[in-house]
Amino acid sequence: MAEDLKIAKGTKAAIYQSLIPQIKALLDGEPDLIANLANVAAALKEQFGWLWVGFYLVKQDELVLGPFQGPVACTRIKKGRGVCGAAWQNAATLIVPDVEKFPGHIACSSLSRSEIVVPLIKNNEVFGVLDVDSELLDQFDETDKKYLEEIVKPLSPPAGGELS
């Protein structure tokens, strides 16, 4: 059983440096993807208090809503659509400082103002994305990109491919 999360204060980098070993400890030895996604979403939400933190998983040819923390959200996103679908298509992290200026942004919550989406990649294939939304403009930068990419790196799809 995990202990309570230790909430850090300080610079963004210092906060991530405190959080990452705790997330690694939560994931250590647990092969179940959904359990791990649920704990990563909860840990990020608890530490940063962002509006929405969650995952979409590639199933057939769509992203389907997975474990998340925050308001209810759209369940399916097609490849190339919205910020999530674009990050999937490009297999690259996307930082959106102002969602109203991103062509095709999908507004799951009218409160969201800025967003970062980080693809989950295994064997050169995107199997999902981490999506984080903030109610404030311009909340995500290269520091978030670097550490969120590190956080999702240990996540793997199920060996048997039962995602789809």
Under the rule (CB under 6 A), what is the footprint of ligand SME? 52, 73-74, 77, 82-85, 105-106, 108, 112, 115, 131, 133
Cβ pair 15, 8 in contact under 8 A: yes
Cα 49 to its chain centre, rounded Å, is: 14
By C-beta, is 22 or 38 nearer to ligand SME? 38
Cβ pair 65, 54 in contact under 8 A: yes
Helices and strands, number each (H, E), in the chain: 4, 6
By C-beta, is 77 or 151 nearer to ligand SME? 77
Residue type, 111: L
Task: Tell me how far, at minimum, the Cβ of 158 lies from ligand SME, in Å.
Answer: 23
Task: Tell me how far, at minimum, the Cβ of 109 lies from ligand SME, in Å.
Answer: 7
Residue 114 CB coordination number (10 Å): 22
Task: Tell me how far, at minimum, the Cβ of 3 lies from ligand SME, in Å.
Answer: 29
Of all residues in the shown chain, the one whose CB is closest to ligand SME is 82
